[in-house]
A and B are shown apart, each in its own frame.
Chain A
């Protein structure tokens, strides 16, 4: 096992190497994606995709995002794969990440199955419609809308003040009926925290919209779930983040079947993306405990800003 600085150094060197490898296809793209795609052997793109996915796995974990949004914008912007395959791969990546993280979150009480049930029913229904619509829309429209959405997320991340323990004076009637309340053990303080939620009907409409968006863009939408659970419903931040992962597993399960049946899954794009992202998340956990949160936030916001601008400009054919 590597420890302390040696771990960070090793991870940094590997990340640097991957950065160079991942940048190679992007540089080649700069000279003309079509020509590069025709000229470069297949494995260059696959290795580049694996390395980029590794980096996205590290940074998305550190930044508290699933990575699907960044994946679609960056891979869709710089790699020669059609956006259909990029969105299909992104959904599989987000699904695998959610399935892997889910059990641990459930065991520690940070993800709540009961809270996820009505929310996931709405997101998964929306995702089916979103996937069907998204695969029919012109690529430029999807990319432009994705760019606008990502820039909106950047504004939300900068402006919003997420509450660790939001005040919920009283649970609403639907939440009481469904028993949407619970406790979890906060390992940072060692205390058991009780929580409940409100504004459930409005939140369910929000989850339907998140599902639509996830299906259209091929993303998990975990960040949007977290916002609804935390800021609208009043779930504690850790419960919101954990439950969001459970919801993503269901959202992307329904969307990914539509993509799969419509031929938008290309194994050579999906498999390296999943493997790279999983490895990156694993390394990211090691770095997470040793790095200042403020720097992380700045880095992720910058990366999102870049990805959003790139997607928007590509969609508008200003930076093709």
Chain B
């Protein structure tokens, strides 16, 4: 059931994007999220699409896998699109069927907003698909490093993130296991009336909670037993290294930004 999920999943491959420094990837994603909002016409959106697909191509993650995993997101995007079609009533009518009218502005907004949504999700998926959770948190910790000066708990935050990410697969496995065990005891998770299906969640959630709490406690004990004392004076095993590709990628994004500003209307 959750086999096709791609959120937070890392797909190992030998590609330019995989080899990039997590810091540069994080910076690029952050800037990309900002510049997406500059685009407001066909040319600028076109440029964004080309850029995103270029990145996806470079990442060497199979397209079929990415789009298969984003199926749920597509439903959400379709919903946004329809919302715009129905609710925006500006500009000339371009289509009419009885009481139902589609306005030009509605169609335009619908397409652009859904596209924006789609590109954002695709770019962030590329980040998580090509970067191990550990690398992401390492990158984030270094990037947020300056905030330590104002007593912001950067290390603790990064640790929390990496623990959370680390346990996603474990939790999924556990869910799968308990689901199977309860299915074998006659629970039906996939069919039947909604009321029954909601009730079926209880025998799944309680064991999950119990084991999560137990695991958290064990983890805390294990960390203390190995002398964990927080981030103070802690050295790193994995060193981050900024390469030529990283600089080039940032420059490419800068070029895209200039393009967007020039061509926006």
A, B: real partners: no
- Which residues of A are in contact with B by a Cβ distance under 8 Å? none
List chain B positions with a Cβ less than 8 A from chain A.
Answer: none
